[in-house]
Amino acid sequence: MIAATAAIFAPAAGILAGLTYATVAPSCGFWGPVVSRGPAGSHRVAITFDDGPTPGATDVILDVLRDAGVRATFFVIGVNVRKHPGLLRRIHAEGHLVANHSFNHSHYGVMRLRRYWLREIIETDAAIEAAIGVRPAMYRPPVGLKTGHTFSAMRSTPHAMITWSRRAIDGLPTTPQRIMGRFRNVADGEILLLHDGVEPHARNADRSATIAAVPMLLDDLRRANLAPVRLDELLGIPGYQSIGVTAAGVAEVVGAGAAR
């Protein structure tokens, strides 16, 4: 009886494990094309920041980057952009790349369908465009979770799916030393993920460890002869859209808004 039950459920468990891996693994392209690192050989890396803009953290990190002459990429949340458009304008004015990190950063969005993700992406693009006059061409999903519905929504909007090769896990309580331990021996072409902002559902709003770690990270990269650059420079792809979203995508979002 036990053997028969195992024979029935083992294939289902294997399928579930495979789908879970495809959803959470940053380099897995099962659901669609993913960029988790850039080409090797250029002696360049990309430092990326998620969840901003957030006063008290984003502005301090911008000061550090400005003083070091470094350009980074900021994956911003639409809700935070609407609250702090001036801070987003500073990010853009100082030469950093702005990218899309959803509108609400839902922790349960992985269970939502295509229309939800289409609205999340397009509304964030619109908030960014209202602040700085351009729409991003790169998208990173909340918590890095990818599904077929996410990619289906992206096919109606011109975005590249960007994940990471290493992350600081600094959205949770941590220390600068732990962050630096995760970025030990960085290689060229890597995409590094940290958090400058605080997403709407965060339990931890303390970004002091990240703020302290950024100068240390920049020093380590300099000693390793690695130059931090924007993602569009590292990857050789557009950072901003040259055209708007498709008419079908806009119509779908308008219809969804009317139905709410």
The helices-and-strands tally (H runs, E runs) of the chain is: 10, 8
Take residue 232 and report the two structure tokens written for it.
């569009």
Our answer to whether residue 92 is catalytic in this structure is no
∠ CA 233-241-108, nearest 5°, is 95
Q: In terms of Cα–Cα distance, which of 172, 194, 173, 200 is closest to 182?
A: 194
Q: Count of CB atoms within 10 A of residue 205's CB?
A: 12
Q: Where are the alpha helices (DSSP H) in the chain?
A: 2-24, 58-68, 78-83, 85-93, 114-132, 148-154, 176-182, 208-223, 231-235, 247-259
The one catalytic residue among 50, 125, 188, 232: 50
Q: Which of 84, 101, 149, 195 is catalytic?
A: 195
Is 159 noted as a catalytic residue in this protein?
no
Q: Mind telling me the catalytic residues?
A: 50, 195
